[in-house]
Amino acid sequence: MSSLMDANGERLTLDGVSVSFPIYSGGSRSLKKGLLYRGSRGRIASDANDRLVVEALRNVSLQFSIGDRVALIGANGAGKTTLLRVMAGIYEPVSGVVRVSGRISPMFDIGLGIDPELSGLENIRLRGLLLGLSPDEIERLVPDIGAFTELGDYLDLPARTYSSGMLTRLTFAVATCFAPEILLMDEWILAGDAGFLAKAERRIESFVENASVLVLASHNEQICRTWCTKAVWLDSGEVKAVGRIDEILSAYRDELSAP
């Protein structure tokens, strides 16, 4: 098993996790199946029910502990987003086990749950519930969220009356209003117009620093180096390497530049 454990204790474990998505049913010897299989480096195959499936993750075993700051790297289609969604409980593995100790905070779509007919304040409460906050927690956070958005009286108006910039302020403020335990990010979050951007950057930095565990999927090498100390290199749904961020990024860059 690839290990990212330290003395502080295990918080998130994947043991032999595989994920596949069915494409269609049909005969396993069809020409189309054969061509797809060969063209996908083996990631497209047939399952036990003779369905054509995409093997998004294959036998992934990892452990994340308190203090871990881990970058997920790899080419498009390597399985980074699928791995994050398995950790978040969005995708169910076809085999293997995921064990979690602590609250998962997935930051995949910060606009999720916005109802255009509800007011800004009502959307704050709705989005907070979707993030797993209790009603009491949300009410304690509402003043801070409202102040951070700088939307003032607009918070009493329906969200459909907001500009895209105003909606971004609202969703970003809610998404970053609490101290996360296990933070999962699919690319770094940047939000708002030029006047709001610096303020948003300071808030997301504080948000990330307060997380017990960070797992970040990103193609931005500088962001990975800034925020992560370890890396997991995924290739065709499998863990190719695990180690220190500099070592893994260097090896990954060398492979990309190889003839």
What is the β-pairing status of strands 51-65 and 44-46?
Answer: antiparallel
Tokens at residue 31, please?
A: 């020409």
Say what the pLDDT of residue 127 is.
86
What would you report as the CA-atom Rg of the chain, rounded to the nearest whole angstrom? 21
Largest CA distance in the chain: 64
Q: Which residues, 6 or more positions from 227, have their beta carbon under 8 angstroms from its beta carbon?
A: 69, 71, 208, 214, 216
- For residue 223, which of 241, 201, 243 has the smallest C-alpha distance? 201
Predicted structure pTM score: 0.79
DSSP state of 119: B
Tokens at residue 57, please?
A: 């993750």
DSSP state of 212: S
* pLDDT tens, position by position, 12-70: 999 999 998 887 554 444 545 444 444 444 465 555 555 677 889 999 999 999 999 99
Q: Is 39 helix (H, G, I), strand (E, B) or coil?
A: helix
Contact between residue 44 and residue 54 where contact means Cβ atoms under 8 Å apart: yes
d(CA 119, CA 55) in angstroms, rounded, equals: 42
* pLDDT tens, position by position, 149-195: 999 999 999 999 998 888 888 988 988 888 889 999 988 876 666 77
